[in-house]
Structure 1
């Protein structure tokens, strides 16, 4: 069997990633070529996609159903790649993700900062983040201060009596995270690492220049909307709102008295945030729910717009409120990037620009060799970013390795490998 660990990935190897979403579960298997890490050295060799079962708003509600769904997606990807995985990297969007920034301090007795001093800072930061029973999903260093002076990117070997690390962490509630880990392990896989879902989506669709200038990525999924903020090239905020594009589908189904599958089709084909005078006269046909004669009924695009627009407006307003509460508006909202399946609604970009008062574009995952065209869409941004985060050396998502001589006893202990690696 092939082990997808970081040592193998840095040379030549195979890595597997799994994204358990509200509308689908996706497994990607990629071959990693030697050389400088990046999308150019990643080639997709296996893909498995299954409609989500046993999950709601990103949370596992039926362990058996979620397991069967994940097994089907993973098995399909393994057969396509011709490999059997031992471990996978997993995206985490459940557990009411909480993002915070704080400072960790350490006194330097020797007068010179050493690797052990940085390790103490990271351990202290982790302990602080995991108070109140929460579990760390992500931690990145925003910057260091030596004796109060800023500007040190790597303080090791520098003289100081006190070193301070400004840290950003993302934590999750233990129970939902544990259920996700249990479900993956019931698929006979170990957890190679975890990545915060908002970070993964942003990594797939935003550029380094946007991250330096300040950007917010909004991933509108089926059951959740994920937010990630960057400024000065640093990941500064993540949150998940338990509302998504499925609500638009439910509204259409209710208003037109049509089955959910038909409502989803109507949303994809005729849903739009751009109005025109002709919409009052342009009609589309659809089937009513529980109709045995198979008759078709008609509605106008204007009628559909009156159903879709209020829901989209309410969802984006909720995102705007969340950004105001986070304090990220002045730093990370110079540009907005929409992604996720909900971002494919026609005209949502200009509509969102009016709400946020900033330039908005719809982002697709960056090109990865072997990724089929039909999945190179905003709906697959999270799993594409998960793959990038799990393979790029120095990524801000995994860093703390559990000692092999003392294997962790708990499920969560096996995923204590994701502190900041670029120390």
Structure 2
């Protein structure tokens, strides 16, 4: 990668924006943001690449801005992946320990995690992450790190996240065509969680909801481990579409109305002002009241939160979310989202902004829209220094896709040979 091993680049390839963040970590594990770049994205639909050229240009643009701000030449990037093709499931595995003194080693854990991956997957789906939930050694459960313990038999329960092969491939293709290497491919809700959740929340039980442009990503944590993930293909873009159709305005006008005047909870509007929107092609301007706009926004926001509620029930962790819900992403900037989430989900809600940044362009990324980008660099920086939850090691030394893929799982090799 760069001269300095401890500099990482996160690339959040979103449906509405592409964001590149360059950050470094020092000996005290303090994170400094060195450069930020943002470009409009037109090449994705609901989190999946649909136009390679447009996406490549936007990636180049965003990284060029980040390079300019940081003065660092970017070679490899940590990319986030989302889209409603993401699936998560649980799996179990068991192995016997056959060392001389029955001491469990890191190799044994690796062998066990490989055993957990023996699941039947459709040919178009591929494993992205394998996250250990808990280990059981000789019937003793509740173990989070079994290395160094003695035992004859070790079992594990893992959370496996899979995605569409073609979606991951196209993501790689865009980054490579823009002239960069992919160091790692990380699930976006997992990345966002590194940036906006603190350890206490993860311990107590929390649901992270990242309302982006094309997808709403969610992750449920409890006892410091990710327990459930889901990606829903309804998000901010749908709110804009509703405004455009409901009020018969242009797409840009709908987006501006949403950002400037949009509210998630019509009953909480203090004074109902009238907003004037210029007419299309010389037609007279339109008068729109704030309450009508809020009703349109609220209907869609309620739908998003209701789907989140269904996913929470599906996860089986509905009763153990003491820390409530943390909402992040661009959609969390719509006014009064927290009271609405509070009412629909019955959980305490707050807006999550990136935490744990000590220096550099700290103010520039102090917004929920940068949660995923900041989380991607945090994941990469921390996985190099701390004992990371996901099995996939940071691969800043990766010199080509083949090496990277080996780090994710050997089984991923086959479909990358065509690249």
Normalised by the length of structure 1, the TM-score is 0.88
1:62 aligns with 2:55: no
Instruction: Quote the Cα distance in structure 2 between the aligned partners of 1:198 and 1:221.
Output: 11
Aligned residues: 402
Match of 1:385 in 2: 375
SS in 1 for 2:332: helix
Q: Distance in 2 between matches of 1:386 and 1:277?
A: 35
Matched-pair contact (CA < 8 Å) for 2:91–2:117:
no
Summarize the alignment of residues 214-253 of structure 1 with structure 2, pairs less than 5 Å apart.
Answer: 214-253=205-244
Question: 2:138 aligned with 1:147, yes or no?
Answer: yes
Q: Which residue of 2 aligns with 1:355?
A: 344
Where does 1:4-403 land on structure 2 (aligned, <5 Å)? 8-9=5-6, 14-35=7-28, 37=29, 41-94=30-83, 96-110=85-99, 111-128=102-119, 132-275=123-266, 281-288=272-279, 290-292=280-282, 295-332=284-321, 335-368=324-357, 369-371=359-361, 373-392=363-382, 393-397=386-390, 399-400=392-393
Q: Using the TM superposition, give the Cα deviation of residue 2 of structure 1 relative to its aligned residue in structure 2, in angstroms.
A: 1.4
Once residues 73 and 215 of structure 1 are traced to their aligned partners in structure 2, the CA distance between those partners, rounded to angstroms, is 32
Q: Cα distance, 1:398 vs. partner?
A: 5.4
For 1:239 and 1:147, the matched residues in 2 are separated by: 33
Q: Distance in 2 between matches of 1:247 and 1:151?
A: 42
More off after superposition, 162-171 vs 335-344: 162-171
Q: Distance in 1 between matches of 2:3 and 2:179?
A: 13
Counterpart secondary structure, 1:291: helix
Query: Which is worse superposed, 315-324 or 237-246?
Result: 315-324
Structure 1 residues 373 and 315, CA, compared in 2 at 3 Å: closer, same or farther? Answer: same
CA distance in 1, matches of 2:393, 2:286: 58
Post-superposition Cα deviations, 1:320-344, rounded to whole Å, max 9, x if no partner, equal 1222233332334750111111111
Question: Structure 2 length normalisation: TM-score?
Answer: 0.88
Gaps of 5+ in 2: 410-419
Listed one character per residue, the Cα deviations across residues 72-110 of structure 1 (whole Å, up to 9, x for unaligned) are 111221122222122111111136111122222111123
Q: 1:339 to 1:95 in 2, by over 3 A?
A: closer
**Offset of residue 134 of structure 1:** 2.5
Q: Closer, same or farther in 2 for the Cα pair 1:227/1:281, shift >3 Å? A: closer
Which segment is superposed worse, 41-50 or 313-322? Answer: 313-322
Distance 1:117-1:62 versus aligned 2 partners, 3 A rule = same
Query: Residues 255 and 215 of structure 1: is their aligned pair in 2 closer, same or farther, counting only changes over 3 Å?
Result: same
CA distance in 2, matches of 1:107, 1:254: 61
Give the CA deviation at 1:350.
0.7
Aligned-partner Cα distance in 2 for 1:149–1:45: 46
